Amino acid sequence: MSTQHEIVTVIRPISKWEVLNFRQILAFRDLLMALGKRDIKLRYRQTALGVLWVVFQPIITAGIFSVVFGQIAGLKAPPGVPYFLFALAGTLGWNIFSNTLNKASTSLVQNSALVSKVYFPKVIVPISAVFSSLVDFAVAFVLFVIMVPVFGLHFTWQFLLFPVWILVILLGSVGLGLYTSALMVTYRDVQYIVPVFLNLLMYISPIAYSWSSVPAKLQPLMSINPLSGIFEGFRWSLLGQGTISASSVAYSVVVCVVMFVVGALMFGKVERRFADVI
């Protein structure tokens, strides 16, 4: 007697309070990569310099910081470190955060046709911002690695820790990006708020200056910024100079993890409404 086995497919709704379904993200990894590659191609299409802007942008920014903070304001970099290289190291970390948050925030609205007509985990869209941000960072980072010995410096053991700082920066930026992208589906005002928020955050974060150069009376206010410890640590790992505060770093790590969890939970809670609202 032959026994027939029926194949039963069980469809379960995704929990509204699930942080992230990594199995689903992995299943749609081809779409994730395709969205990231498309973003890079579209960004530099019909530009004279193309991908060279990835290199020029942090160099120009670091040059401006060197003049404003190093020459005009008279701030100092750690002994033996040129202010330009000091500012460039901070700019690289900042660009990962700001680029990821900027791109993730507008990603759902910019891909509204895809979001409303095709079934896939919508979290793929804002997370794809990580791909293009890391590609931009990798190109600029190669230049930084070349410039370090040119300026007479060398990498230390702290250099091995820089991937950890990148991971924490991404947790914070992706968490905020998931939150703001979900908000922007309903409230387009977010697209104007995020750039203003980033401009303010850049100047109150130790990107172009060190924590030690901040007046003592302002340091308690600066310590509220959860990104201060991360950017200080990122630059410390690249230059091997200066010191970092363990308590500040711990605070930054905890806040970035919380931002990621809250952003993912909020995104998952409202994801089902995207196709109807967008």
What's the pLDDT at 54? 82
What's the pLDDT at 11? 47
User: Per residue in 35-64, pLDDT tens?
Assistant: 888 887 777 776 666 677 888 899 999 999
What's the pLDDT at 26? 81
Q: Report domain extents, the chain.
A: 22-277
Instruction: Please give the share of the chain, as a percent, with pLDDT higher than 70.
Output: 90
> What's the mean pLDDT in 77-96?
92
What's the pLDDT at 164? 94
Residue 4: pLDDT band with limits 50, 70, 90: low
Instruction: Please spell the DSSP secondary structure of the chain, one letter per residue.
Output: ------------PPPTT-S--HHHHHHTHHHHHHHHHHHHHHHTTT-SSGGGHHHHHHHHHHHHHIIIIIIIS---PSTT--HHHHHHHHHHHHHHHHHHHHHHHHHHHHTHHHHHHS-S-TTHHHHHHHHHHHHHHHHHHHHHHHHHHHTT----GGGGGHHHHHHHHHHHHHHHHHHHHHHHHH-TTHHHHHHHHHHHHHHTSTTSS-GGGS-TTTHHHHTT-TTHHHHHHHHHHHH--S---HHHHHHHHHHHHHHHHHHHHHHHHHGGGHHHH-
User: Per residue in 170-182, pLDDT tens?
Assistant: 999 999 999 999 9
What's the pLDDT at 12? 52
Instruction: Please give the share of the chain, as a percent, with pLDDT higher than 90.
Output: 46
Residue 150's Cβ-side half-sphere holds a number of Cα atoms within 13 Å equal to 8
What's the pLDDT at 16? 54
> With 80 as the cut, is the pLDDT of residue 73 above it?
yes
- The mean of the pLDDT values for the chain is 86
> What's the mean pLDDT in 182-189?
90
What's the pLDDT at 13? 52
What's the pLDDT at 18? 57
